[in-house]
Structure 1
Amino acid sequence: MPDSPASTPSLVSFPPAVGAAAVIALRAAGCVFAEDEAELILATARGPREVTALVARRATGLPLEQVLGWASFHGLRIAVEPGVFVPRRRTEFLVDQALAQAPDASVVVDLCCGSGAVGAALAAALGPVELHAADIDPAAVRCARRNIGPRGGRVHRGDLFEPLPAALRGRVDVLAANVPYVPTGEVAFLPPEARDHEPAVALDGGADGLDVLRRVTARAPDWLAPGGCLLVETGEHQARAALAAFSAAGLVPRLAVCEESYAHVVVGTRP
């Protein structure tokens, strides 16, 4: 669930009854954090009618971030559109690992970028960088341009590395790839918010969840600069196989784990 934004607060003051009605409706829809969600909706809406409309959309099961039109990620407000993968707070750990590994990075690529949250967060922390992002989903590309464009980045549509400019080969300092890693057989068991409202291409990682990771890892060394790093989020039970894929590609791998957010990130460095 997004944090309450530190900037651009609502300029509308609502009567207590409006907030109370929103909480009641959200509770009735099964929202566990109804009070917090109502607060965020009131902070976003521009009038009572919009509050009602946003609550109604949330009650249908639409992810809160898609209802609000934004998600809080690494201190930023990231634009999120319907049908686009919602950035997870645990993925902030991937950003932190990238910054620790390559604090002076000047060329950054956000692969499988979705909303572009990872690329935007890296650019915000690193300062001026050459930033590129890519995704195969046109809705994601459109959304990512809203988040990455203002930071001078370019978003390309296509399958993994295919749409990237050839001039990037051998120059990338940070290659962040938040690949889909849910095994095909487990997609049906995801929460309805993800299963029903996010694109399957952003969730389904194939039979063991590692199909896209292997494709990215195999080609990453051609794009990384010497000393450049590839970072991929994966599941705990997939970590050993992911490490093996990195090693097979000639990268020097390590596994970073954040117990608090239950995040597992494989970092591979080109020698």
Structure 2
Amino acid sequence: MENGNSHGHSKYAKVVNRLRAAGCVFAEEEARLLLTAARTTAELAEWVERRAAGLPLEHVIGWAEFCGLRIEMDPKVFVPRKRSEFLVSQAAALARPEDIVVDLCCGSGALGAALAAALERIELYAADIDPAAVRCASRNVAAAGGQVYEGDLYDPLPVTLRGRVNVLIANAPYVPTGGIEMLPSEARIHEAQVALDGGEDGLDVQRRVAAAAPLWLAPGGYLLVETSERQMLQTAQIFVDSGLIAQVASCDELDATVVIGTRPVFPE
């Protein structure tokens, strides 16, 4: 929708005021997105009210901006966070053309799609246990030339990938069960609990990912997971206990922490 004239400025101001009143912190930026994406005045009005009611902006407009890509989004699917762009950049620095890349707990498939866009000719596979996420990821990952599977972690992946994966990324849930009630309502109410809940200490899924990683990684292959600064030493120890060489990378600007595990080329 056009908003370059005085009528447009008035409409923009009304949207900003409505979003501000609803408690949207980035009201100006969101108003611009809503005005640009809405095709009709009626659609704009409906979208503004849905956003004001607490629905994530990305679920309202149907896409999320991630690593410069437009990632298609569906209701209830985990919205990729800006901080996860750091995980993508770390993985991209380690990957090589024609590598086999697996995106576990893929959600919308944003991380795998972004990695495919950053690299040349990777062989991309993704998996998630949530059927809604798989439906959403299928569109984003297929556009990147990859394949998506539905199931629990490694279970649905082709067995032919065992011992051949060069880069394994997993933005596994790492919020402790008791901390979910403290999340912003748009995450707590509008995203699938399975995408948020990491168990009692937040690290249950990471443990399972790391434990099986050496079976799937090629010698010298990498596992990268996002974690919190508070949990990073525990995550690194989980990697070590699973037989991986662990290192931690962090980015203050994005408030992002990634633990990188390498499968030893000559296991002890």
Tell me if the contact between 1:105 and 1:173 (Cα under 8 Å) persists in the aligned partners. no
Q: Which residue of the other structure, out of 73, 85, 94, is the alignment partner of 1:80? A: 73
The Cα RMSD (Å) is 1.0
Q: How many residues align?
A: 260
Q: 1:4-153 maps to which residues of 2 (within 5 A)?
A: 12-14=1-3, 15-16=7-8, 17-104=10-97, 106-153=99-146
Amino acid at match of 1:268: G
Amino acid at match of 2:20: R
Larger mean Cα displacement after TM superposition, 30-39 or 178-187 = 30-39
Question: 1:267 aligns to what SS in structure 2?
Answer: strand
Question: 1:98 aligns to what SS in structure 2?
Answer: helix
Tell me if the contact between 2:86 and 2:256 (Cα under 8 Å) persists in the aligned partners. yes
Tell me if the contact between 2:97 and 2:121 (Cα under 8 Å) persists in the aligned partners. no
Partner of 1:264: 257
Amino acid at match of 1:56: E
Amino acid at match of 1:75: G
Tell me if the contact between 1:184 and 1:208 (Cα under 8 Å) persists in the aligned partners. yes
Amino acid at match of 1:197: H
* Aligned counterparts of 2:199 and 2:188: Cα–Cα separation in 1: 15
Amino acid at match of 1:123: A
Amino acid at match of 2:17: I
* 1:33, distance to aligned residue in structure 2 (A): 1.8
In percent, how many aligned pairs have the same letter? 62
**Structure 1 gap segments, 5+ residues each:** 1-11
Partner of 2:206: 213
Partner of 1:223: 216
**Structure 2 gap segments, 5+ residues each:** none
Question: 2:243 aligns to what SS in structure 1?
Answer: coil
Partner of 1:5: none
Q: 1:247-258 maps to which residues of 2 (within 5 A)?
A: 247-258=240-251
Tell me if the contact between 2:214 and 2:244 (Cα under 8 Å) persists in the aligned partners. yes
- Superposition TM-score, scaled by structure 2 size: 0.95
Q: Deviations over 1:138-195 (max 9, x none)?
A: 0000000110111221100000000000011011111000000000111100011111
* 1:20, distance to aligned residue in structure 2 (A): 2.3
* 1:105, distance to aligned residue in structure 2 (A): 5.4
- Superposition TM-score, scaled by structure 1 size: 0.94
